[in-house]
Amino acid sequence: MLTLDEKIARAETRIFKAVFPNTTNHYDTLFGGATLHMMDEVAFITATRFSRLKMVTVSSDKVDFTHPIPGGTLVELIGNVVRVGNTSLQVRVDLFVEQMYSEERTKAVTGTFTFVAIDHEKRPVRILPEAVAAE
CATH assignment of the domain containing 25: 3.10.129.10
Contact 98/105 with Cβ under 8 angstroms? yes
Average pLDDT of every residue of the chain: 95
Mean pLDDT of 20-27: 97
pLDDT of residue 130: 62
Using DSSP's 3-state secondary structure scheme, residue 42 falls into helix
Q: Give the count of domains, the chain.
A: 1
Compute the average pLDDT of residues 87-107: 98
Distances (CA, A) of 94 to 21, 54, 56, 107, 121: 22, 23, 20, 7, 32
The whole-number pLDDT of residue 134 equals: 46
Which pLDDT score is estimated for 132? 55
Per-residue pLDDT reduced to its tens digit, 46-75? 999 999 999 999 999 899 999 999 999 999
Domain residues for the domain of 78 are 4-133
pLDDT of 29 higher than 80:
yes
> If you average pLDDT over residues 15-25, what whole number do you get?
97
Question: What is the DSSP annotation of 47-92?
Answer: HHHHH-SEEEEEEEEEEEE-S--BTTEEEEEEEEEEEE-SSEEEEE
pLDDT at 133 over 90: no
User: pTM of this prediction?
Assistant: 0.93
